[in-house]
Amino acid sequence: MLLNAGEQSSTYLLIEGIVTYFLYFEFIALIVKYFQSGYHFPLRYFIYIGITAIIRLIVVDHENPLDTLCYSAAILILVVTLWLAHSSRLMRE
């Protein structure tokens, strides 16, 4: 019984490590995109990374329903922010 609990814990740690690795990979890609775009970086990329990071947090840590609800509300706020950033009033392009 204890052996199975240890395997489940190590599986969660492995998944958490993989998720963290991909988050670091996104930040490296973000830096590369910054240099490729001539030192101009749109706000929407940060919002995309924020949404993705919160979704991954929900996947890894979803034991407390109230926390999951708060994370979902944060995603909703980021989506509304993304919609506002794409609106014609705030577009520079």
Q: What local confidence, expressed as pLDDT, does residue 40 receive?
A: 77
Spatial distance between the Cα atoms of 78 and 68, rounded to a whole number of angstroms: 15
pLDDT tens readout for residues 12-70: 788 878 878 887 887 888 888 888 878 777 788 888 888 988 988 888 888 899 999 99
Q: What local confidence, expressed as pLDDT, does residue 5 receive?
A: 52
Helix axes 65-86 and 43-60, enclosed angle (nearest 10): 160
Can you read off the two tokens belonging to residue 17?
């490590």
Q: Which residue has the higher pLDDT, 78 or 84?
A: 78
Q: Which amino acid is located at 70 in the chain?
A: C
Q: What is the pTM of this model?
A: 0.67
